[in-house]
C-alpha cells in the first residue's frame, strides 16, 4: 500500500463511488465521505476512514478535504454542486478528480493559475465516450472524415442521475438535435432508430442527436470534418418523460422545483421497470488508410455505466499519482488517459462483457479485429 497519498472520495456510497473504492482500497489509504453517517464501517479497515460530510456545508466539506492528497468527487448532481468540492480541494492543497464536471468546471478554472491538477469528465459519458474514439483512431486511419457515436442502455435512474440529465440540458453540456460539421454546429431534428446487438440479440433503439463539447474537442484534435453523437433509449416513452421533465425545469429552474420534478419523474418511471441492465457504447469512423477508404466500428457492452465511471475515476486518480501530468491546470480524462491501457484495465476488472472492433474496406469485406 502506498501511504504517500491519501484519497478522499465524496459520494463513496453511490454506484460510481463504490466502484472507485473497490479499485483503490488496497492501494492507498482512503477517506470515504457521504451525507449519511455509516457507523458500521468505522472499524472495518484501518486504512479506510469514514466521515459524514454535507457538500452544502462548507466547513464540513473543507474539514473532509483537509489532509487529502487527491479528492475524488463521485457525487451529484454536478450542476447543483458546481465548484463546491473543487474549491474545498484547492483550499486543502489537494488535486481534484470529478466524474463529471465537464464544461461547467472548465469555464470556472481554465483562466486561473491553479496550484493543483484537476481532471474532469472522468466517467463513462463524458469520459469513455472520448477515450474509445481515440483508440479507434490510433489503430488504422491516416485521415478521418466522419465519426458517429452512440451511447445508452437500460439502466435504473437514481434521483441524482435524473437531476443531472435535466440540469445539463439546461446549462449547455451539449446541444440537442445537432451535429458538428466544418467547424460549426448544424441543427438537425431528424429522429433515428438504430439496431444494436445486446447479449446476442438485435435490439431496435431510439437515438437522439446530442453533440457535446467532448465530441467537438475530439473532432478538432483529430481533424475530423463531421462529428455526430447520439444518446440512445430502448424505451421511447421513458425518453419522452425525460424530455417533458427538462421542459418543466427550463420554465422554472429553482432547487425546490427541481426536487419536485425529479420526485414526479421517479414516480412515473415505476411503470417502466428495468428487468435486465445493460449499457453500450458504439463508435463508427469513416476515412482513409493507405489511400483506401475504410469504415471501422467499435462496440462495447457492459452491465452498467456506473462501474465504468468509477474505474475511470480511479484511473484518473492514479494518473496524478504516477506523474503522467506534469503541470498544474485543468484537464479532461479523455485527453490524458491512455486508451489502450483503459480498455485493458476495464477488461481485467471484468467490467466489459463484450468488446469488438470491425473494419470494412472498399472491397466490402468485414474483418473482425479484436474481441475482449
The string of DSSP codes covering 19-76 is: HHHHHHTTTS-EEEEESS--GGGTTT-TTEEEEE--TT-HHHHHHHHTT-SEEEE--S
Please state, as a whole number, how many other Cβ atoms lie within 10 Å of the Cβ of residue 119. Answer: 29
266's enclosing H/E stretch is: helix 255-269
Q: Which of 74, 75, 115, 125 is nearest to 95 (CA)?
A: 115
Q: What's the pLDDT score for residue 40?
A: 55
* pLDDT score, position 35: 83
Cβ pair 362, 292 in contact under 8 A: yes
Q: Where does the pLDDT of residue 364 fall: very low under 50, low under 70, confident under 90, or very high at 90 and above?
A: low
Q: What's the whole-number mean pLDDT along residues 345-361?
A: 92
CA pair distance 58, 50, nearest whole angstrom: 18
Least confident among 48-52, 261-265, 282-286, 367-371: 367-371
Pick from 18, 10, 171: nearest CA to 80: 171
Binned at pLDDT 50, 70 and 90, residue 57 comes out as very high
199: pLDDT strictly greater than 80: no
pLDDT at 252: 85
In this structure, the strands spanning 226-233 and 178-181 are antiparallel
SS3 254: coil
Q: Which tens digits make up the pLDDT trace of 300-331?
A: 999 999 999 999 999 999 999 999 999 999 99
Among 19-28, 83-92, 118-127, 251-260, which is the least confidently predicted range? 251-260
Give me the pLDDT at residue 160, please: 81
pLDDT higher at 1 or 72: 72
**pTM of the predicted model, to two decimals?**
0.91
- Cα–Cα distance, 297 to 285 (Å, whole number): 6
Euclidean distance between the first and the last CA atom of the chain, given in angstroms as a whole number: 30
Give the whole-angstrom CA distance, residue 93 versus residue 95. 7
Q: Annotate 245-282 with b (16+ C-beta within 10 A) or e (fewer).
A: bbebbeeeeeeeebeebbeebeeebeeeebeeebbbbb
Is the confidence at residue 341, as pLDDT, over 70?
yes
CA 65, 68, 72, 74 torsion-angle sign = negative
Output the pLDDT for position 327: 95
Least confident of 32-36, 85-89, 118-122, 320-324: 32-36
CA-angle at 104, arms to 98 and 107, nearest 5°: 110
Of residues 304 and 199, more confidence is placed in 304
Report whether pLDDT(71) > 90: yes
Average pLDDT, the chain: 89
Q: At what angle do helices 339-348 and 128-138 cross, to 10 degrees?
A: 110
* Mean pLDDT of the 130-158 span: 91
Identify the pLDDT of residue 366: 52
- Given a cut of 70, whether residue 250 has pLDDT beyond it is yes
CA trace torsion 300, 206, 79, 61 (10° rounding): -40
- Lowest mean pLDDT of 1-10, 153-162, 168-177, name the range: 168-177
Residue 192 host element (H or E): strand 192-198
Q: What's the pLDDT score for residue 371?
A: 40
For residues 287 and 294, is the Cβ–Cβ distance under 8 A?
yes
Residues 285 and 296 sit within 8 Å (Cβ to Cβ): yes
Angle at 203 between CA 197 and CA 279, to 5 degrees: 60
pLDDT band at 6 (very low <50, low <70, confident <90, very high): very high
Spatial distance between the Cα atoms of 148 and 286, rounded to a whole number of angstroms: 9
Amino acid at each position: 500500500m502506498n501511504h504517500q497519498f491519501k484519497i478522499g472520495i465524496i459520494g463513496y456510497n453511490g454506484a460510481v463511488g463504490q466502484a472507485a473504492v473497490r479499485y483503490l482500497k488496497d492501494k492507498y489509504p482512503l477517506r470515504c465521505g457521504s451525507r449519511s453517517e455509516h457507523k458500521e464501517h468505522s472499524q472495518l479497515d484501518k486504512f479506510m476512514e469514514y466521515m459524514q460530510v454535507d457538500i452544502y456545508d462548507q466547513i464540513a466539506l473543507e474539514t473532509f478535504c483537509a489532509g487529502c492528497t487527491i479528492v475524488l468527487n463521485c457525487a451529484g448532481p454536478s450542476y447543483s454542486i458546481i465548484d463546491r468540492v473543487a474549491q474545498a480541494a484547492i483550499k486543502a492543497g489537494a488535486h481534484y478528480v470529478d466524474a463529471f464536471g465537464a464544461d461547467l468546471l472548465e469555464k470556472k478554472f481554465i483562466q486561473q493559475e491553479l496550484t493543483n491538477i484537476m481532471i474532469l469528465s472522468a466517467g463513462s459519458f463524458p469520459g469513455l465516450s472520448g477515450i474509445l474514439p481515440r483508440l479507434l483512431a490510433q489503430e488504422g486511419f491516416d485521415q478521418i472524415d466522419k465519426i458517429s457515436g452512440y451511447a445508452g442502455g437500460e439502466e435504473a435512474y437514481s434521483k441524482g442521475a435524473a437531476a443531472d440529465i435535466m440540469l445539463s440540458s439546461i446549462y449547455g453540456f451539449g446541444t440537442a438535435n445537432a451535429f458538428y460539421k466544418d467547424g460549426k454546429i448544424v441543427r438537425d431534428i431528424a429522429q433515428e432508430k438504430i439496431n444494436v446487438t445486446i447479449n446476442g440479440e438485435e435490439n431496435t433503439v431510439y437515438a437522439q442527436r446530442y453533440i457535446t463539447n467532448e465530441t467537438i474537442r475530439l473532432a478538432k484534435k483529430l481533424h475530423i470534418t463531421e462529428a455526430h453523437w447520439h444518446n440512445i433509449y430502448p424505451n421511447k416513452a421513458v425518453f419522452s418523460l425525460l424530455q417533458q421533465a427538462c421542459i418543466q425545469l427550463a420554465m422554472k429552474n429553482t432547487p425546490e422545483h427541481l426536487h419536485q420534478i425529479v420526485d414526479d419523474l421517479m414516480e412515473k418511471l415505476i411503470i417502466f421497470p428495468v428487468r435486465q441492465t445493460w449499457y453500450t457504447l458504439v463508435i463508427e469512423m469513416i476515412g482513409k488508410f493507405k489511400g483506401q477508404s475504410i469504415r471501422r466500428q467499435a462496440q462495447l457492452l457492459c452491465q452498467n455505466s456506473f462501474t465504468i465511471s468509477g474505474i475511470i475515476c480511479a484511473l484518473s486518480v492514479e494518473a496524478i499519482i504516477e506523474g503522467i501530468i506534469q503541470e498544474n491546470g485543468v484537464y479532461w480524462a479523455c485527453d490524458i488517459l491512455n486508451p489502450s491501457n483503459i480498455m485493458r484495465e476495464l477488461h481485467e476488472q471484468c467490467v466489459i462483457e463484450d468488446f469488438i472492433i470491425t473494419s470494412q474496406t472498399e472491397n466490402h469485406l468485414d474483418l473482425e479485429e479484436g474481441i475482449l
